Amino acid sequence: MTGNHLDITFDRNSLSQLSEWIDTLGEESAKAQRLKQPITSYNRLIDDKSDDKIYLLVKVDQNVTNWSAVGFVRVGTRNLWFADKYNTNLRQYQNCFCILGLHLYEYLNYFYIRNQRQGLGHLLISSVMKCVSTPADQFAYDRPTQAMLSFLCKHFGLQRPVTQHNHFVIFENFVCFDRTLLCSFNNSSLKKYSRLTRR
């Protein structure tokens, strides 16, 4: 499993826990975005038609015996049409790299406040940027909330968002390149562990 830096072995029980983490965070993310149903789930990630990836932020104790997911960022590529800030020059972009969701677990208000102060959202986005060697202004953001836009402005200096007809948001310096995702949890690795635990 690419991106698993803790050498954690996923058996049947822990794979079930992984599924629960993703589904729970996906449901919370949908509520934050006021969506009718979650768009991030374990089953969607292992779907053959999906190439989406998810980065999970996991809190682990010193002995690496207990861990829990406290946040995620979901990424993927899309073929999208974008207009410029004047709503002209509509162009199609192939394999556009997208941030499809970012959420931190809100199971305790106290812990949620600590998450914000510790900059865990910044850590997640920065990890994606480092992994794919891409700055924040070269991502397309799917249905970002106002809080997300404020977060991007504060931490990455992204101002003057250009909202698109397809609900994505890009920024003025956006130039899309055909790129390959280098690391993260992906559908093939999740399927691999699913097969192993069924034996």
- pLDDT above 90 coverage of the chain, percent: 22
Full-model pTM: 0.72
Predicted local distance difference test score (pLDDT) of residue 108: 39
Q: Say if residue 139's pLDDT is above 90.
A: yes
Question: Measuring CA to CA, how many Å separate 145 from each of 32, 46, 71, 81, 109?
Answer: 8, 26, 16, 21, 20
Tell me the fold of 12-198: Aminopeptidase (3.40.630)
Question: Measuring CA to CA, how many Å separate 194 from each of 11, 38, 166, 181, 190?
Answer: 9, 22, 34, 22, 6
Predicted local distance difference test score (pLDDT) of residue 118: 56
Predicted local distance difference test score (pLDDT) of residue 30: 81
The CA radius of gyration of the chain, in Å to the nearest whole number, is 17
Q: Check residues 177 and 151 and name the one with the higher pLDDT.
A: 151
Give DSSP secondary structure letters for 6-70: T-----HHHHHHHHHHHHHHHHHHHHHHT-SS-S--HHHHT-TT---EEEEEEEE-TTSS-EEEE
Q: Position 64: which residue type?
A: V
Q: Predicted confidence band at 90 (pLDDT cuts at 50, 70, 90)?
A: confident
Q: Predicted confidence band at 149 (pLDDT cuts at 50, 70, 90)?
A: very high
Predicted local distance difference test score (pLDDT) of residue 64: 58
* Rounded distance between C-alpha atoms, residue 148 and residue 121, angstroms: 10
Q: Check residues 17 and 131 and name the one with the higher pLDDT.
A: 131
Instruction: Enumerate the domain spans of the chain.
Output: 12-198
Mean pLDDT of 57-63: 73
Predicted local distance difference test score (pLDDT) of residue 63: 64
Q: For the ranges 116-120, 133-137, 148-152, which has the lowest average pLDDT?
A: 116-120
Tokens of 73: 């960022």
